[in-house]
Amino acid sequence: MAPRRNYLAHPLPVRIMHWIGAVAVICMILSGLQIYNASPLLPFTFPGWMTLGGWLGGGIAWHLSAMWVLFADGLAYLAYGFLSGHFRRDILPPRPKIILRDLNDALQFRLAHQLGAYNGVQRLLYMGVIIMICLAVATGLSIWKPVQLGWLTGLFGGYPAARVIHFIMMALIVGFLIIHLALVILFPRTLVSMLAPVRSELDNAPRGSVR
Protein backbone atom coordinates (compact mmCIF):
# COMPACT_ATOMS: atom_id res chain seq x y z
CA MET A 1 0.00 0.00 0.00
CA ALA A 2 1.32 3.44 -0.88
CA PRO A 3 2.20 5.75 2.04
CA ARG A 4 -0.71 7.86 3.26
CA ARG A 5 0.48 11.45 3.58
CA ASN A 6 -1.02 14.13 5.80
CA TYR A 7 -3.20 11.69 7.72
CA LEU A 8 -3.76 12.09 11.43
CA ALA A 9 -2.39 9.38 13.68
CA HIS A 10 -5.79 9.32 15.41
CA PRO A 11 -8.78 11.09 13.79
CA LEU A 12 -10.99 13.23 16.03
CA PRO A 13 -13.83 10.65 16.31
CA VAL A 14 -11.35 8.01 17.47
CA ARG A 15 -9.87 10.35 20.07
CA ILE A 16 -13.28 11.33 21.44
CA MET A 17 -14.55 7.74 21.62
CA HIS A 18 -11.25 6.58 23.16
CA TRP A 19 -11.55 8.93 26.12
CA ILE A 20 -15.28 8.37 26.63
CA GLY A 21 -14.67 4.63 26.59
CA ALA A 22 -11.67 4.93 28.91
CA VAL A 23 -13.64 6.86 31.55
CA ALA A 24 -16.60 4.47 31.27
CA VAL A 25 -14.40 1.37 31.60
CA ILE A 26 -12.57 2.76 34.64
CA CYS A 27 -15.89 3.66 36.31
CA MET A 28 -17.21 0.17 35.57
CA ILE A 29 -14.11 -1.50 37.00
CA LEU A 30 -14.13 0.54 40.23
CA SER A 31 -17.88 0.22 40.76
CA GLY A 32 -17.64 -3.47 39.84
CA LEU A 33 -15.16 -3.96 42.67
CA GLN A 34 -17.67 -2.32 45.01
CA ILE A 35 -20.32 -4.81 43.86
CA TYR A 36 -17.82 -7.67 44.17
CA ASN A 37 -17.10 -6.76 47.79
CA ALA A 38 -20.76 -7.38 48.67
CA SER A 39 -20.45 -11.03 47.59
CA PRO A 40 -16.80 -11.98 46.95
CA LEU A 41 -15.93 -14.73 44.51
CA LEU A 42 -12.50 -15.17 46.08
CA PRO A 43 -11.39 -15.21 49.74
CA PHE A 44 -10.57 -11.49 49.76
CA THR A 45 -12.15 -8.09 49.14
CA PHE A 46 -10.79 -4.87 47.71
CA PRO A 47 -9.97 -1.79 49.83
CA GLY A 48 -12.42 1.10 49.76
CA TRP A 49 -10.07 3.41 47.86
CA MET A 50 -10.17 1.01 44.90
CA THR A 51 -13.97 1.06 44.71
CA LEU A 52 -16.62 3.49 43.50
CA GLY A 53 -20.10 3.99 44.90
CA GLY A 54 -19.57 3.76 48.67
CA TRP A 55 -21.95 0.84 49.14
CA LEU A 56 -23.67 -1.89 47.11
CA GLY A 57 -26.53 0.31 45.87
CA GLY A 58 -24.17 3.12 44.95
CA GLY A 59 -21.84 0.71 43.16
CA ILE A 60 -24.73 -0.72 41.14
CA ALA A 61 -25.93 2.78 40.20
CA TRP A 62 -22.46 3.78 38.98
CA HIS A 63 -22.00 0.45 37.21
CA LEU A 64 -25.26 0.63 35.27
CA SER A 65 -24.77 4.30 34.37
CA ALA A 66 -21.26 3.65 33.05
CA MET A 67 -22.51 0.53 31.25
CA TRP A 68 -24.94 2.52 29.10
CA VAL A 69 -22.27 5.10 28.31
CA LEU A 70 -19.87 2.33 27.29
CA PHE A 71 -22.61 0.58 25.30
CA ALA A 72 -23.42 3.74 23.31
CA ASP A 73 -19.74 4.56 22.84
CA GLY A 74 -19.04 1.00 21.72
CA LEU A 75 -21.84 1.05 19.14
CA ALA A 76 -20.56 4.37 17.80
CA TYR A 77 -17.02 2.98 17.63
CA LEU A 78 -18.14 -0.18 15.84
CA ALA A 79 -20.13 1.85 13.31
CA TYR A 80 -17.21 4.22 12.72
CA GLY A 81 -14.71 1.38 12.55
CA PHE A 82 -16.61 -0.47 9.84
CA LEU A 83 -17.75 2.54 7.80
CA SER A 84 -14.38 4.33 7.82
CA GLY A 85 -12.29 1.21 7.24
CA HIS A 86 -10.52 1.73 10.59
CA PHE A 87 -11.02 -1.89 11.60
CA ARG A 88 -9.75 -3.25 8.29
CA ARG A 89 -6.69 -0.98 8.24
CA ASP A 90 -5.77 -0.87 11.91
CA ILE A 91 -7.44 -3.56 14.03
CA LEU A 92 -7.82 -6.82 12.11
CA PRO A 93 -4.84 -9.02 13.07
CA PRO A 94 -2.34 -9.77 10.28
CA ARG A 95 -0.99 -13.19 9.35
CA PRO A 96 0.33 -15.30 12.28
CA LYS A 97 3.83 -15.03 10.83
CA ILE A 98 3.76 -11.24 11.19
CA ILE A 99 2.36 -11.45 14.73
CA LEU A 100 5.13 -13.86 15.79
CA ARG A 101 7.77 -11.67 14.16
CA ASP A 102 6.51 -8.53 15.89
CA LEU A 103 6.12 -10.37 19.21
CA ASN A 104 9.73 -11.56 18.98
CA ASP A 105 10.88 -8.00 18.24
CA ALA A 106 8.80 -6.66 21.15
CA LEU A 107 10.33 -9.15 23.60
CA GLN A 108 13.77 -7.98 22.49
CA PHE A 109 12.73 -4.30 22.71
CA ARG A 110 13.40 -3.88 18.98
CA LEU A 111 9.84 -3.33 17.78
CA ALA A 112 9.41 -0.07 15.88
CA HIS A 113 6.66 2.18 17.26
CA GLN A 114 5.37 4.86 14.91
CA LEU A 115 2.33 7.07 15.22
CA GLY A 116 -0.44 5.90 12.94
CA ALA A 117 1.11 2.46 12.34
CA TYR A 118 -0.29 -0.56 14.15
CA ASN A 119 2.06 -3.53 14.43
CA GLY A 120 0.91 -7.12 14.70
CA VAL A 121 1.08 -7.22 18.51
CA GLN A 122 -0.98 -4.05 18.86
CA ARG A 123 -3.61 -5.32 16.44
CA LEU A 124 -3.91 -8.60 18.33
CA LEU A 125 -4.21 -6.82 21.69
CA TYR A 126 -6.79 -4.31 20.45
CA MET A 127 -8.90 -7.02 18.85
CA GLY A 128 -8.59 -9.02 22.06
CA VAL A 129 -9.73 -6.17 24.31
CA ILE A 130 -12.72 -5.47 22.04
CA ILE A 131 -13.77 -9.11 22.44
CA MET A 132 -13.17 -8.93 26.22
CA ILE A 133 -15.36 -5.82 26.56
CA CYS A 134 -18.13 -7.42 24.49
CA LEU A 135 -18.01 -10.52 26.71
CA ALA A 136 -17.95 -8.37 29.84
CA VAL A 137 -21.05 -6.48 28.68
CA ALA A 138 -22.86 -9.69 27.67
CA THR A 139 -22.09 -11.48 30.95
CA GLY A 140 -22.93 -8.32 32.88
CA LEU A 141 -26.37 -8.18 31.26
CA SER A 142 -26.92 -11.86 32.03
CA ILE A 143 -26.04 -11.22 35.70
CA TRP A 144 -28.18 -8.08 35.88
CA LYS A 145 -31.30 -9.69 34.40
CA PRO A 146 -30.88 -13.47 34.86
CA VAL A 147 -34.63 -14.09 34.58
CA GLN A 148 -35.58 -11.71 31.77
CA LEU A 149 -32.41 -12.63 29.86
CA GLY A 150 -32.40 -16.27 30.89
CA TRP A 151 -31.41 -17.39 27.40
CA LEU A 152 -28.28 -15.23 27.62
CA THR A 153 -27.45 -16.42 31.13
CA GLY A 154 -27.87 -19.99 29.90
CA LEU A 155 -25.36 -19.40 27.10
CA PHE A 156 -22.71 -18.75 29.75
CA GLY A 157 -23.61 -21.82 31.78
CA GLY A 158 -25.87 -20.18 34.35
CA TYR A 159 -25.63 -17.29 36.79
CA PRO A 160 -22.56 -18.48 38.80
CA ALA A 161 -20.57 -19.26 35.64
CA ALA A 162 -21.55 -15.94 34.05
CA ARG A 163 -20.33 -14.13 37.16
CA VAL A 164 -16.98 -15.93 37.04
CA ILE A 165 -16.55 -15.14 33.33
CA HIS A 166 -17.48 -11.50 34.03
CA PHE A 167 -14.81 -11.28 36.74
CA ILE A 168 -12.19 -12.92 34.49
CA MET A 169 -12.95 -10.45 31.68
CA MET A 170 -12.55 -7.58 34.15
CA ALA A 171 -9.17 -8.94 35.28
CA LEU A 172 -8.00 -9.32 31.66
CA ILE A 173 -9.12 -5.78 30.82
CA VAL A 174 -7.19 -4.47 33.84
CA GLY A 175 -4.14 -6.38 32.57
CA PHE A 176 -4.55 -4.77 29.16
CA LEU A 177 -4.81 -1.31 30.75
CA ILE A 178 -1.58 -1.90 32.69
CA ILE A 179 0.25 -2.87 29.49
CA HIS A 180 -1.33 0.06 27.66
CA LEU A 181 -0.23 2.57 30.32
CA ALA A 182 3.27 1.08 30.42
CA LEU A 183 3.61 1.60 26.67
CA VAL A 184 2.36 5.18 27.01
CA ILE A 185 5.10 5.80 29.58
CA LEU A 186 7.70 4.29 27.23
CA PHE A 187 6.36 6.23 24.22
CA PRO A 188 4.82 9.44 25.66
CA ARG A 189 4.22 10.98 22.24
CA THR A 190 1.41 8.45 21.78
CA LEU A 191 -0.49 10.23 24.56
CA VAL A 192 -0.06 13.56 22.77
CA SER A 193 -1.44 12.04 19.56
CA MET A 194 -4.55 10.89 21.45
CA LEU A 195 -5.09 14.38 22.89
CA ALA A 196 -4.34 16.56 19.88
CA PRO A 197 -4.26 16.29 16.06
CA VAL A 198 -0.82 14.82 15.35
CA ARG A 199 0.27 13.72 11.89
CA SER A 200 0.80 10.05 11.17
CA GLU A 201 4.37 8.76 10.80
CA LEU A 202 3.37 6.15 8.22
CA ASP A 203 5.56 7.76 5.58
CA ASN A 204 8.55 6.63 7.63
CA ALA A 205 7.26 3.12 8.34
CA PRO A 206 9.93 0.44 7.87
CA ARG A 207 9.64 -1.87 4.90
CA GLY A 208 7.63 -4.97 5.69
CA SER A 209 5.54 -3.29 8.38
CA VAL A 210 1.95 -4.39 8.81
CA ARG A 211 0.57 -1.39 6.99
pLDDT in tens, 168-190: 999 999 999 998 898 888 878 88
Alpha helices in the chain (DSSP H): 12-38, 56-84, 86, 96-107, 120-144, 150-155, 159-186, 189-195
The confidence score (pLDDT) of residue 207 equals: 34
- Residue-range domain boundaries for the chain: 11-90, 93-196
**pLDDT over 70 at 5, yes or no:** no
User: Judging by beta carbons within 10 Å of its beta carbon (0-12, 13-18, 19+), is residue 25 exposed, middle or buried?
Assistant: buried
208 closest CA partner among 54, 94, 125, 89: 94
Distance, in Å, from the CA atom of 84 to the CA atom of 26, rounded to the nearest integer, reads 27
Distance, in Å, from the CA atom of 3 to the CA atom of 11, rounded to the nearest integer, reads 17
Least reliable range by pLDDT among 37-51, 83-97, 151-165: 83-97
Q: What is the pTM for the complete model shown?
A: 0.83
Distance, in Å, from the CA atom of 58 to the CA atom of 194, rounded to the nearest integer, reads 32
Residue 8 φ/ψ, nearest 5 degrees: -75, 145
* Mean pLDDT to the nearest integer, 17-37: 96
Check: CB of residue 206 under 8 Å from CB of residue 101: no
More confident residue, 104 or 168: 168
| Coil/strand/helix, residue 199 | strand
| CB neighbourhood size of 87 (10 A) | 17
The confidence score (pLDDT) of residue 105 equals: 81
**pLDDT over 90 at 4, yes or no:** no
Distance, in Å, from the CA atom of 146 to the CA atom of 160, rounded to the nearest integer, reads 10
199 pairs with which residues across the strands?
8
Q: What residues have CB less than 8 Å from 25, skipping those under 6 apart?
A: 66, 70, 133, 173, 177
The residue type found at 85 is G
* CA-to-CA dists, residue 55 to 45, 63, 176, angstroms: 13, 12, 27
**Could you tell me how far CA 157 lies from the centroid of its own chain?**
25
pLDDT over 70 percentage in the chain = 91
